[in-house]
């Protein structure tokens, strides 16, 4: 069951890459940098599989109906 649309997927990819760049690029260091390094993979993963588990209990979907 996919619930992430194409625009949402693109936004998640950009956000994930930005977070990883900030963390691994040394722009943000210490604990916040570590959080960005870890959290940056979440939007990339949800974009890759097309499913967001947080959308499920909220009854949300950014995927258009066919």
Q: Could you report the per-residue pLDDT of 2-55, keeping only the tens digit for each?
A: 999 999 999 999 999 999 999 999 999 999 999 999 999 999 999 999 999 999
Tell me what pLDDT residue 48 has. 97
Six token digits for residue 58 = 């909220």
Predicted TM-score of the model (pTM): 0.91
Residue in 40, 38, 36, 37 with CA at minimum distance from that of residue 12: 40
**Neighbouring residues of 15: CB distance < 8 A, sequence distance ≥ 6:** 43
CA atoms within 13 A on the CB side of 24: 11
- 3-class SS of residue 7: helix
Q: How confident is residue 66, by pLDDT bands cut at 50, 70 and 90?
A: low
- 3-class SS of residue 58: helix
């Amino acid at each position: 069951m996919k619930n992430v649309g194409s625009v949402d997927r693109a936004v998640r990819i950009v956000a994930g890459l930005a977070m990883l760049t900030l963390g691994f690029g040394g722009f943000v260091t210490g604990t916040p940098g570590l959080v960005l390094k870890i959290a940056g993979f979440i939007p990339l993963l949800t974009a890759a599989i097309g499913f967001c588990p947080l959308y499920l209990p909220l009854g949300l979907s950014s995927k258009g109906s066919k």
